Chain A
Amino acid sequence: MEETKISMYQLYKDMLTSYLKSKSEHALYHAQQFSKEMMEKDMSPEETVSLHLSVFQELAEDLPEEVVDSFDLLLEVMIGYGLAYREHQSLRDRQQQLESELNVAARMQQSLLPRGEISLDSVDLGVISVPAGKMSGDYYDYALDEQENIGVAVADVIGKGIPAAMSMSMIKYAMDTLPEQRTRPAELLENLNRVVERNIESDMFITMMYGFYDPRSHQFYYASAGHEPGFVYDAHNDSFRSLEAKGLVLGVSPKVRYNEDHLKLEVGDFIVLLSDGVTECRVDGEFIEREQLVEMIRKYKHLSAQEIVDKIFLDLEKAQEFQLRDDFTLLILRRKV
């Protein structure tokens, strides 16, 4: 420490001497570079002022007393700046620490989501889920049972960030305790509703759509808890319609009944489930219309389910200048044979 002080003193002295002699831009540039070094060495503004004074006193003999005294005032003022600077440094360190904790949490959350492709002869599945921040309030799931029924879910916690992410993990754990309800969408939602109602704040809500596809009967059974309607694509007529089901959002009331509905998927037909982060994307300042989304899906429908959702995400991300306002989840399930 003492040694760096001495070498700093010498460096500053050389710099000031050279500047006083030449008044050159080059010397000033040198000083600018030097200031970075001073910050690296943790030199505070008040130390810099004091360094300047002592070097100046050595270079210019017989400084008027007023000049020297005036530095007392400057020094006093600089103490405040020095404190603010140190506080800034410590807050920056703390921010880095929070950031890394958040990264760990985000990785943990990612591990709650299903991984790996489901490759089946019967269906083609694609899903993309991207959080607006580090943590997501969206949840999705897909799972196969022994009869090769495939269950798909998309849930959306109202709100985002960490509180939403914590609620989302609750949905995941609750789902895991209800394996026998995977083929009974309405019952599954009724059970989840009870868990959510009991465990989250009254000002938080979760919407969810759950469905499962039976590859033998080609029926898709589904129920919704106030969730953003999905779409069904009818390959024969090349048309889309809304996939809707009535039902209250999860967590409002302890006893809620949900309606179960079903429809038949023909070869090439597909189901689209999404979170409201998709329909709340803004293009040119306006929310995209569901029709616009349909047109985007139509444009890519010749691709695989995964390619479709990936392309749509990329297009919408680009249209919003890479700023997601809400968590984004899009899932497509297509009957292959």
Chain B
Amino acid sequence: MQVQTHVDIHSEWGIVAARQAGRKLAREIGFGSVDQARITTAISELARNIYLYANRGQIKIEEVTASGKRGIKIIAVDEGPGIKDLRRVMEDGFTTSGGLGAGLPGVKRLMDDFNLHSELNEGTTITATKWLR
């Protein structure tokens, strides 16, 4: 297990801190500027979801390697209300916040691997990884 950064999310400052940590690690791993921007956008969305729906939680960012490839993994964990209709939140055109947010489908598009686990009244864990090409 390599470098891991934890950022607590309970305010918008936390969102910025998580972005910063993500961009730094992405740059170190060797992602280009477009991918850096994509990764930070994904982190933003995940952190905002925590902030808006669970009030508090954590973003963990780490470097991963698999079959000779390097990548960055983002884990968003909260103990919020959980997601009732998973299929619905993964649908395009559905954003509960009403705004033009990228939402979870956006995060999935920005990253390569995406995993979502949620239990009602327990919380939600989302894992998203992007590989260096």
> A interface vs B, CB < 8 Å?
46-47, 50, 71-72, 75-76, 78-80, 83-84, 86-87, 90-91, 94
Given the complex of chains A and B, what is the CA–CA distance between A106 and B8 in angstroms? 54
For residue B106, CB closer than 8 A to chain A, the reply is: yes
Contacts of B34 in A (CB 8 A): 46-47, 50, 75
**Is B93 an interface residue, CB under 8 A from the partner?**
yes
Question: In the assembled complex, which residues on chain A have CB atoms less than 8 Å from the CB atom of B41?
Answer: 76, 79-80, 83
Interface SS of A by simple majority: helix
Contact of B37 among A79, A84, A91 (CB under 8 A): A79
Of A50, A75, A79, A90, the residue contacting B92 (CB under 8 A) is A90
A83, A90, A91: the one within 8 Å of B102 (CB):
A83
> How far in angstroms is the closest Cβ of chain B from A201?
24
Question: Within residues 100 to 114 of chain B, which ones have a CB less than 8 A from any CB in chain A?
Answer: 100, 102, 105-106, 109-110
Q: Is B32 an interface residue (CB 8 A)?
A: yes
| Most B-side CB within 10 Å, residue of A80, A83, A84 | A83
Q: A47: which B residues are within 8 A, CB to CB?
A: 34
- 12 example contacts (A-B, Cβ-Cβ < 8 A) are as follows A47-B34, A50-B34, A72-B33, A72-B37, A75-B34, A83-B102, A83-B106, A84-B100, A87-B106, A90-B105, A91-B92, A91-B93
Q: Which of B37, B92, B100 has the most CB of A within 10 A?
A: B37
Is the beta-carbon distance between B93 and A87 smaller than 8 angstroms? yes
Q: Please give the distance in Å from A78's CB to the nearest CB on chain B.
A: 8
Does B38 interact with chain A (Cβ within 8 Å)? Answer: yes
- Which chain B residue has the least Cβ–Cβ distance from A44? B34
A-contacting residues of B (Cβ < 8 Å)? 32-34, 37-38, 40-41, 92-93, 100, 102, 105-106, 109-110
Chain B residue numbers with a CB within 8 Å of A79 are 37-38, 41, 110
- How distant is the Cα of A86 from the Cα of B93 in the complex, in angstroms? 11
Report yes or no: A86 in contact with B109, Cβ–Cβ below 8 A.
yes
Q: A50-B32, A94-B92 are in contact. Are A75 and B37 (CB under 8 A)?
A: yes
Q: A68 — nearest CB in chain B belongs to which residue?
A: B33
A79–B111 alpha-carbon span in the complex (Å): 12
A46 CA to B40 CA, complexed, in Å: 13
- Min CB distance, A80 to chain B, in Å? 7
Q: Report chain B residues within 8 Å CB of A94.
A: 92
B37 CB contacts on chain A under 8 angstroms: 46, 72, 75-76, 78-79
For A83, list chain B residues within 8 Å (CB). 41, 102, 106, 109-110
User: Contacts of A86 on B, CB cut-off 8 Å?
Assistant: 109
The docked-state distance in angstroms from the alpha carbon of A94 to that of B90 is 14
Question: What residues of B have a CB within 8 angstroms of the CB of A50 in the complex?
Answer: 32-34
Q: How many angstroms between the C-alpha atoms of A212 and B108 in the bound complex?
A: 62
User: Which A residues are in CB contact (< 8 Å) with B110?
Assistant: 79, 83
Q: How far is the CB of A223 from chain B (nearest CB, A)?
A: 47
CB closest residue in chain B, given A77: B37
Q: A90 to B108, alpha carbons, bound, how many Å? A: 13
Q: How far is B41's CA from A22's CA once the two chains are assembled, in angstroms?
A: 38
Cβ contacts under 8 Å, A76 to chain B: 37, 40-41
**CA–CA, A76 to B92, complex, Å?**
21
Taking CB atoms, residues of chain A closer than 8 Å to B92 are: 87, 90-91, 94
For the complex, what is the distance from the CA of A281 to the CA of B133, rounded to whole Å?
A: 61
Question: Which residues on the B side are within 8 Å of A78 (C-beta)?
Answer: 37
Having A75-B33, A76-B40, A90-B92, one finds 14 other A-B pairs with CB under 8 Å, namely A46-B38, A50-B33, A71-B33, A72-B37, A75-B34, A76-B37, A79-B110, A80-B41, A80-B100, A83-B102, A84-B100, A87-B93, A91-B92, A91-B93
How far is B33's CA from A47's CA once the two chains are assembled, in angstroms?
Answer: 10
User: Can you name the residue of chain B whose Cβ is closest to the Cβ of A79?
Assistant: B41
A87–B32 alpha-carbon span in the complex (Å) = 23
Min CB distance B45 to A, Å, is: 9
Which residue from chain A places its CB closest to the CB of B34 in the assembled complex? A50
Chain B residues within 8 Å of A75, by CB? 33-34, 37
